[in-house]
């Protein structure tokens, strides 16, 4: 308790000197012989504990305590009074005095009360400090929780993005919530650059993104940080480098965000490729259907013509009835086989149509 400062306010100089001598080995003690000197000192300093007489020549201790309260200065007060009445004690309590000792008293009693008040002051300060730490931790936890909630919302939004522009818009919404000013590069078949609100990025920013996209996952320079993956890079222009806690938390967040961006860019690329393959297959099947139908129609027409001509030539060939019946049965049997093949192809077309419906559902 050697760092604790005690002010003794009493007009009795002998008493003040005695108290100073008694306490100076354990505390920093300063005597004041009236309210005027005390008020002057209070303008530049503040004690930890006041050992104050209630009855002073120029004012009273109760009034001085009210002045302390009015100025929002929290000081522990131990009143000393020659009037040991309930009224005096109630007045002391009303101005938030910590303790009260009546004159005359033994020095060991006063010393015990000073120690008790000093321990009370230290305990109060520890509680205030602990409360402040808890409040700061709670605020930090709420901030982190809010930020992580924004990141989760971003990932949910990513699944709804089917092109690079909507993905960039979702990314900039997240960066705005994190109070980060950014620009984005996506490297697909072509290199694309994005800025908030569909603005253009400056030539030097695109050049920096191009030059630093191979400098590791996170690269700091000045108050800026670039974050890289294989197909994605983004530049943070206002990274809080000087705030160690916030900086560390944001580094963790953006490292996760760039992985999410990378994964979604790859998914969009696969989706676009699959869509194109589906369209190509659909077009190919359509061409096959048209060509087959044309061929089937021509083939069927040729068979019908051939059958008509053969039947029409029976009388010219001078065939017997048995021979005519044989050739007629042969032609009808082959016509049935052609019809069966046509029906099989129709069923194949239907099956391919169902496959395309399933593929179409997967692509969309």
Q: Is 154 exposed, middle or buried (0-12, 13-18, 19+ CB in 10 A)?
A: buried
The pLDDT value recorded for residue 96 is 80
Overall average pLDDT of the 115-137 stretch: 76
Where is pLDDT greater, at 18 or 126?
18
The pLDDT value recorded for residue 262 is 93
What are the distances in angstroms from CA 31 to CA 19, 114, 125, 170, 173?
Answer: 9, 15, 24, 67, 63
What does DSSP assign to residue 25?
A: T
Question: Is 85 a residue whose pLDDT tops 90?
Answer: no
The pLDDT value recorded for residue 305 is 75
Is residue 65 within 8 Å of residue 97, measured between CB atoms? yes
Average per-residue pLDDT in the chain? 81
Residue in 18, 249, 6, 282 with CA at minimum distance from that of residue 147: 249
**H or E stretch including 263?**
helix 244-312
Q: Classify 187 as helix, strand or coil.
A: strand
Two tokens, residue 14:
């002998």
Distance in angstroms (rounded) separating the CA atoms of residues 296 and 299? 5
Question: Is 201 a residue whose pLDDT tops 70?
Answer: yes
Q: Place 265 in a pLDDT band, splitting at 50, 70 and 90.
A: very high
What is the Cα 60 distance to its own chain's centre?
58
């Amino acid at each position: 308790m050697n760092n604790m400062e005690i002010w003794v306010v009493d007009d009795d100089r002998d008493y003040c000197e005695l108290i100073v001598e008694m306490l100076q080995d354990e505390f920093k003690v300063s005597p004041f012989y009236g309210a005027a000197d005390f008020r002057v000192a209070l303008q530049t300093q503040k004690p930890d504990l006041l050992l104050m007489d209630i009855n002073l020549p120029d004012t009273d201790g109760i009034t001085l305590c009210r002045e302390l309260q009015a100025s929002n200065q929290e000081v522990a007060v131990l009143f000393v009074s020659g009037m040991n009445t309930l009224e005096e004690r109630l007045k002391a309590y009303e101005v938030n005095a910590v303790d009260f000792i009546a004159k005359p008293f033994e020095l060991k009693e006063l010393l015990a009360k000073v120690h008790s008040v000093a321990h009370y002051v230290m305990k109060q300060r520890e509680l205030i400090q602990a409360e402040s730490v808890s409040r700061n931790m709670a605020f930090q936890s709420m901030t982190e929780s809010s930020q992580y909630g924004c990141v989760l919302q971003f990932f949910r939004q990513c699944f709804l993005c089917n092109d690079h522009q909507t993905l960039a818009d979702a990314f900039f919404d997240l960066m705005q919530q994190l109070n980060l000013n950014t620009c984005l590069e996506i490297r697909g078949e072509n290199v694309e650059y994005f800025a908030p609100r569909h603005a253009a990025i400056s030539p030097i920013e695109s050049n920096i993104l191009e030059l630093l996209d191979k400098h590791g996952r996170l690269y700091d320079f000045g108050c800026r940080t670039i974050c890289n993956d294989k197909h994605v890079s983004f530049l943070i222009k206002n990274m809080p480098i000087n705030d160690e806690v916030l900086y560390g938390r944001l580094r963790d967040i953006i490292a996760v965000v760039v992985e999410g961006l990378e994964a979604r860019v790859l998914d969009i690329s696969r989706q676009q490729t699959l869509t194109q393959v589906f369209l190509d297959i659909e077009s190919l099947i359509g061409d096959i259907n048209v060509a087959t139908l044309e061929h089937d129609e021509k083939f069927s027409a040729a068979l019908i013509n051939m059958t008509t001509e053969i039947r029409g030539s029976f009388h010219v060939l001078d065939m017997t009835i048995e021979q005519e019946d044989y050739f007629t049965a042969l032609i009808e049997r082959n016509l049935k086989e052609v019809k069966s093949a046509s029906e099989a192809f129709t069923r194949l077309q239907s099956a391919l149509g169902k496959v395309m419906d399933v593929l179409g559902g997967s692509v969309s």
